[in-house]
Amino acid sequence: MTSDVGWKFPFLNDGTREGFNVSAIDMFKSERLQALVREMIQNSLDAQDKTSDPVIVRFTLDTTSDLDDTGFDELARYFKAAHKLEHTQAGKSFYQRAIDQVADGHVTFLGVHDYNTRGLTGPTFDPPENPQSGPWLALVKGAGMTFKESSSALGSFGHGSRAPFAMSELRTLFYLSRIEHEGSLETRFQGKSILQSVPLTEVTGAPEWCVATGYFGIRTKCLPLTDGEVPRWAIQARPELDRDALSVGTSVYIPEPYGVEEEELLWAEVKLAVVANFYFAVLTNKLVVHLGEHERIDADSVAQAFDDVVETDLINILKPTDKVVERLESARTVRKKDLSGTLQLEDFGTINWYLRLDGVVGRHVGVARGNGMLITRAAEKLQRFPGLKPFDLFVCVSGDQGSELLRKLENPEHTEFAFDRISDMTERKSAEAAYYKFQSSVRSLLREHASIQIEEEVSVDDLDDWFRGDLGAGVDNEKGEPNRTLRIAFKKARSHRENRQTELTGDADTSGRGSNGGPGKHKSKGGTFPGDGSGSAKSALRTGLPVRNLRVVRTAPGSGVADVAFTPVDGTRKTLVLLRSGDSETERLEFRTEEEVAAGSAWRTSLEFTELSATARKHLRLVFHPADLDYAIEGRLEP
């Protein structure tokens, strides 16, 4: 390298000293790899070149010992200066690990490469007398800058651009981009590291403090290396059909990534992130993903990729967080839909929807926009659905106007919508009105396909005096008199296919008035009016608190052995009860551990743990009566 090529952390110039903690990076630490995959693929989709072809994203893992061309020997001096200055244990540990990893003489890179994209275009220098903008400046040289090339773009290069830094144990990235520029091709390369302010006397000898962010490239004005100046290792690490012809697109290299000790598990984690967040994008041929050298996820294989990672024991090894488990439910809906279609809304555009009714617990709507990345499963005004049977709905707002509206409501992590993100009150009211039409259309769709069906209504005049009040405040006769007739509606018994949650027992007798419950396992208290008391009660009292994100997955079709995973509500309730769940009836399930089966032990209906934590997901394998696994199951923890 020439003397003008290397790392430069600009002078602080009496500005604000920056410490080790960077909130824009820390916010992604709980889901490092998930955040990386979401951010990188989102940026690639936003930069799509030919809309007739899918964007291709490749993930690779390489190691280099050419530390001179990466500048790590020089960067290590900044690590040492920061380690000497830092007082927190977390900061000191971080810098010591970074020093040790560079001293090892080898650096591992996780590479993320895209194709059929435009690359990081735009100027690389931003003079104050003539401010510039573009993808390169927003991503590489910006902080908190958003550059949006289309209404379907997910707000590229804003706060989310810090997600890849959370994945690097050195908080350092390298960007390689090939673009079409002024009628010819240009290759750009630059490194970026986010550390903390240190006295440069410890590094370069200059009597100045530096800012926390430094760049590898041409030190003068912190410019990128171009064309023949680009390090050979960066070009060779980008997979190409023709090694001598670098294609248009971008590669981001993440040195010393977290959690890559077992490469097979790394690709499984990436696959999990892809199917959880981009199932719809892959299915509709907007996206193709390659993992390492051997696996490809495309429209033809995404269903198998979902099954490989979610419907096998691998899901228990990966131990996804509650957020990921939630996202997987939307992917499951697209994978195993009962109904699907499109809506056309005026001033909103096209909406693609997928509805799942079979085997669903709860009522959820997952919302994506633009290129198909799932944003949230708890969207504004789409969280409560009284009068509907359990369902899971996925909608993707593909229309430009609707996508643009939702973009304005998104938080920086692209995980929720909030109207208070729009400061202008006039614009906010307009957004609320447009969004109201959207959520109304979604609710109308659900009423059409997920309403509880009424089989019979019976008028009971004898109870009129007991429920006089405001009952039946509607008008039901020619004189406009209030209707005070009490109607009892009997819900249609749904088939096993329509809803696995419900098991009806006993007969509904419209004339029965029982003073005693039926002869079932648990007798219910009798009614107010005496009578013959015919019927059946097969209901176990729901006690304790429900666990979060319960997953029960059979180890083989028809088997009674299942892997059970859940997140406790707190650490005080330690007795697990599993119940067969229905609309109105609940029955405790019998189960045993595999050890109890081998020992011939009796069936149990609860399992006590010595220790549970509300922050740690619990995984276990249990043996059930096989038929019980055909029903929806809920879990509760009792004191």
Of the candidates 86, 75, 119, the one whose C-alpha atom is nearest the C-alpha of residue 215 is: 75
Helices marked H in 576-625 — which ranges?
594-599
- Taking the C-alpha atoms of residue 263 and residue 276, their distance in angstroms, rounded to an integer, is 20
pLDDT above 50 (res 156): no
pTM for the whole structure: 0.74
**Cβ neighbourhood burial of 475 (10 Å; 0-12, 13-18, 19+):** exposed
Task: Please say if the pLDDT value at position 506 is more than 80.
Answer: no
3-state SS class at 452: coil
Residue 522's pLDDT is 40
DSSP string, 196-215: ---BGGGTT--SSBB-SEEE
Between 618 and 391, the more confident residue is: 391
User: Cα–Cα distance between 70 and 253 in angstroms, integer?
Assistant: 11
CB 453 within 8 A of CB 491: yes
- Residue 499 has a pLDDT of 39
Q: Looking at residues 347-357, what average pLDDT do you find? A: 94
Q: How far is residue 277's CA from residue 315's CA, in Å, rounded to a whole number?
A: 16
Contact yes or no for 587/579 (Cβ under 8 A) = yes
What the block records as the tokens of 75 is: 């960067």
Please list the helix, strand and coil fractions of the chain in percent, rounded to the nearest 5, in that order.
Answer: 30, 25, 45
Decide: 178 and 247 in contact? Cβ < 8 Å. yes
Please write the tens of the pLDDT for every residue from 405-438: 998 888 877 888 888 889 999 999 999 999 999 9
Which of 351, 314, 359, 298 shows the shortest CA–CA distance to 333?
359
Angle at alpha carbon of residue 301, lines to 298 and 304, rounded to 5°:
140
Could you give the percent of the chain with pLDDT greater than 90? 56
For residue 84, give the H/E element and its range.
helix 72-85
Angle between helices 400-409 and 425-450 (to 10 degrees): 110
Q: Is the pLDDT of residue 330 over 50?
A: yes
Partnered with residue 619 across adjacent β-strands are: 565
Q: Helix axis angle, 263-283 relative to 302-310, nearest 10°?
A: 140
The sign of the CA dihedral 387, 392, 398, 404 is positive
Q: Which residues contact 125 (CB under 8 A, 6 or more apart)?
A: 132, 221, 223
Residues 6+ apart with CB under 8 A from 140: 120, 124, 175, 190, 192, 224
Exposed / middle / buried, residue 96 (Cβ in 10 Å: 0-12, 13-18, 19+) = middle
Per residue in 461-489, pLDDT tens? 555 555 544 444 444 343 334 444 555 55
The pLDDT score that the predictor gives to residue 472 is: 42
User: Crossing angle of helices 322-335/302-310, nearest 10°?
Assistant: 140
Find the radius of gyration of the CA atoms of the chain.
30
More confident call, 284 vs 146: 284
Distances (CA, A) of 372 to 120, 352, 353, 443, 526: 22, 10, 11, 21, 53
Residue position matching structure tokens 């010819």: 184
Q: How far apart are CA 171 and CA 211, in angstroms?
A: 15
Cα separation, 62 vs 70, in Å, equals: 14
Per the structure block, which two tokens stand in for 389?
A: 């049977």
Tell me what the pLDDT averaged over the chain comes to. Answer: 83
Alpha carbon of residue 322 to chain centroid: 9
Q: d(Cα 279, Cα 266) in Å, to the nearest integer? A: 19
Burial class (CB in 10 A: 0-12, 13-18, 19+), 143: middle
And the tokens for 99?
């020093």
User: How confident is the model at residue 38, as a pLDDT?
Assistant: 93
Domains of the chain: 5-260 (no CATH), 337-450 (no CATH), 455-491 (no CATH), 545-638 (2.60.40)
